[in-house]
Structure 1
Amino acid sequence: MEIAVYATTGFPTIARDIITVLARIALGVIFIAHGWQKFNEWTVSGTTQSFAQMGVPLPDIAAPFATFVELIGGALLILGALTPLVGILLAANLIGALVIVHLVPVPFVDQGGWELVAALAAGALLLAAMGPGRFSVDRFLFKGKKGAKSQAQKVDAPKASGGEFTPAN
């Protein structure tokens, strides 16, 4: 297949599904690690105190929310379970962190910057929008359900009438 075709349609479905699994695993592991750090190393109580010192509103709610959304959400991302909801919750958590704590002129995380938070939020939103792919709990549970066919499957399938291929946007 020519590069020009990939430029307008993306990779074939199987490649997208494999790449999506790899992205889910990578992001899931990162989220679990950050959630575990808040839960085990800092403790939820310590995270709450840290959030209060950083000026996070409602730290008694925000700290447990961040901790468990990252821990549980990371595991669900790896499995590809409830992916749109989990992606939105993770992104909302990170956008809050970005706006409240990390919105500084420098992007670098070692200087309190926004790069890691923005990249993780973008990845979570991308998975929420695109779905978990073929190799996922969501696909297994909802396969055959009305409206459960992924956008990627619809795009890759030639039209029955004329056999034309409609590229993805």
Structure 2
Amino acid sequence: MTTRNNPTMTSVALLVLRVVLGFILAAHGWQKFFQYTLDGATASFEQMGVPLASVVAPAVATLELAGGIALVLGVLTRVAAALLAVEMLGALFLVHLSSGIFVDNGGYELVAILAAAAAALVLAGPGAYSVDRFLFARKAAVAVPSV
């Protein structure tokens, strides 16, 4: 079976990417809410030098949890992925860059690959196996006048 220019395989690949990325980000958001708590996440952000930590920490926790779930479902995929990519780039430049690449030293490898995966979804879209495709494909089909 050839995978080259195969729309089904492309949609399956995008589904895998969306679900794994979304699960990881939702888990990080969940962790900030329920394991660290928002107060703990805020204190951690302050310690790392994140500006306006009391605003940024809850926003990041919410974005990761809700955005991760949105990616898993394929709902507003490009919007959620764009916001998450920007967030990961912020984490890369504000916190992780000075520690080098490796995550065991506090480096940027994880946030870099998460940003790249989110950017790929912004560019490629959600694929056929998504709520977005179901909603927007139906609207597009209805909007096309029949002759």
TM-score between the two structures when normalised by the length of structure 2: 0.90
Match in the other structure for 2:102: 108
Task: Measure, in 2, the Cα distance between the counterparts of 1:129 and 1:78.
Answer: 17
Aligned-partner residue type, residue 142 of structure 1: F
Name which of 52, 74, 77 aligns with 1:80.
74
Aligned-partner residue type, residue 58 of structure 1: L
Name which of 40, 64, 80 aligns with 1:46.
40
How many residues are matched? 141
Match in the other structure for 2:63: 69
Query: Where does the alignment leave 5 or more consecutive residues of structure 1 unmatched?
Result: 148-169
Task: Measure, in 2, the Cα distance between the counterparts of 1:22 and 1:58.
Answer: 35
In the alignment, is residue 27 of structure 1 matched against residue 17 of structure 2? no
* Structure with the largest fraction of helix: 2
State the identity as a percent: 48
Task: Measure, in 1, the Cα distance between the counterparts of 2:63 and 2:38.
Answer: 13
In the alignment, is residue 136 of structure 1 matched against residue 130 of structure 2? yes
Task: Measure, in 1, the Cα distance between the counterparts of 2:138 and 2:86.
Answer: 30
Match in the other structure for 1:119: 113
Aligned-partner residue type, residue 13 of structure 1: P
Give the CA deviation at 1:65.
1.0
Q: RMSD across aligned C-alpha pairs, in angstroms?
A: 1.7
SS where residue 83 of structure 2 aligns?
A: helix
Task: Measure, in 1, the Cα distance between the counterparts of 2:123 and 2:84.
Answer: 13
Query: Where does the alignment leave 5 or more consecutive residues of structure 2 unmatched?
Result: 142-147
Structure index of larger Rg: 1
Task: Measure, in 2, the Cα distance between the counterparts of 1:19 and 1:56.
Answer: 35
TM-score between the two structures when normalised by the length of structure 1: 0.79
Deviations 1:10-57 (A, max 9, x none): 441000001111111110110011111111110011101110111101
Give the CA deviation at 1:129.
1.3
Give the CA deviation at 1:108.
0.6
Note if contact 2:99-2:106 (Cα within 8 Å) is conserved in structure 1.
no
Note if contact 2:14-2:127 (Cα within 8 Å) is conserved in structure 1.
yes
- Which ranges of 4 or more aligned residues in structure 1 deviate by more than 6 Å? none
Name which of 85, 89, 93 aligns with 2:83.
89
